[in-house]
Amino acid sequence: MDQQEFAGKVAFVTGAGQGIGAAVARQLRDAGATVVATDRNPDVVERYADAERITGLSCDVTDSAQVDAAVAQAEDTVGPIDVLANVAGVLAKGPVSSFSDSDWRFTFGVNTDGVFHTSRAVASRMIPRGRGSIVTVSSNASGVPRRNMAAYAASKAAATMFTKSLGLELADHGIRCNVVCPGSTDTPMQRAMWEHDGGGPEPILNGDPANYRVGIPLRRIADPDDVADAVLYLASDRARHVTMQELYVDGGATLR
Ligand SMILES: NC(=O)c1ccc[n+]([C@@H]2O[C@H](COP(=O)([O-])OP(=O)(O)OC[C@H]3O[C@@H](n4cnc5c(N)ncnc54)[C@H](O)[C@@H]3O)[C@@H](O)[C@H]2O)c1
pLDDT digits (tens, 9 = 90+) for 88-121: 999 999 999 999 999 999 999 999 999 999 999 9
Q: Is the CB of 110 under 6 A from ligand 1?
A: yes
Region 155-160 average pLDDT: 98
> Which of 12, 14, 20 best tests ligand 1's pocket when mutated (most atoms within 8 Å of CB)?
20
Could you tell me the distance, in angstroms and rounded to a whole number, from the CA of residue 19 to the centre of ligand 1?
A: 7
Q: How far is CA 81 from the centre of its chain?
A: 17
pLDDT in tens, 15-30: 999 999 999 999 999 9
pLDDT at 2 over 70: no
Region 38-43 average pLDDT: 98
Region 137-153 average pLDDT: 97
Q: Which residues are catalytic?
A: 152
Q: What is the predicted pLDDT for the residue at 54? A: 98
Closest Cα to atom 40, ligand 1: which residue?
89
pLDDT tier, 242 (very low <50, low <70, confident <90, very high otherwise): very high
pLDDT at 134 over 80: yes
Q: Is the CB of 41 under 6 A from ligand 1?
A: yes
Asked whether the beta carbons of 15 and 21 are under 8 A apart, the reply is yes
pLDDT tier, 34 (very low <50, low <70, confident <90, very high otherwise): very high
pLDDT at 3 over 80: no
Asked whether the beta carbons of 180 and 138 are under 8 A apart, the reply is yes
Q: What is the predicted pLDDT for the residue at 9? A: 98
Q: What is the predicted pLDDT for the residue at 196? A: 85
Q: Is the CB of 23 under 6 A from ligand 1?
A: no
Least confident of 72-81, 118-127, 200-209, 219-228: 200-209
What is the C-alpha separation between 1 and 77, in angstroms, rounded? Answer: 29
Q: How many CB atoms lie within 10 A of CB 163?
A: 24
Average pLDDT, the chain: 97
Q: What is the predicted pLDDT for the residue at 189? A: 95
Q: What is the predicted pLDDT for the residue at 198? A: 81
Region 195-217 average pLDDT: 91
Q: In what order do the strands lie in the sheet with 132-137?
A: 54-58, 34-39, 10-13, 83-86, 132-137, 175-182, 246-249
> Which of 187, 193, 254 best tests ligand 1's pocket when mutated (most atoms within 8 Å of CB)?
187
> Residues 140-145: contacts with CB within 8 Å, 24+ apart?
140/181, 140/182, 140/183, 140/248, 140/250, 140/253, 140/254, 142/181, 143/181, 143/246, 143/248, 143/254, 143/256, 144/254, 145/212
Region 143-152 average pLDDT: 96
For 209-224, b/e burial (b = at least 16 CB within 10 A) is eeeebebbeeeebbeb
Q: How far is CA 56 from the centre of its chain?
A: 17
What is the C-alpha separation between 19 and 13, in angstroms, rounded? Answer: 12
Q: Is the dihedral of CA 254, 223, 115, 27 positive or negative?
A: negative
Closest ligand 1 atom to residue 156 Cα is 43
Beta bridge partners of 86: 136
What is the C-alpha separation between 87 and 80, in angstroms, rounded? Answer: 20
Let me know if domain 10-249 sits in CATH 3.60.10.10.
Answer: no
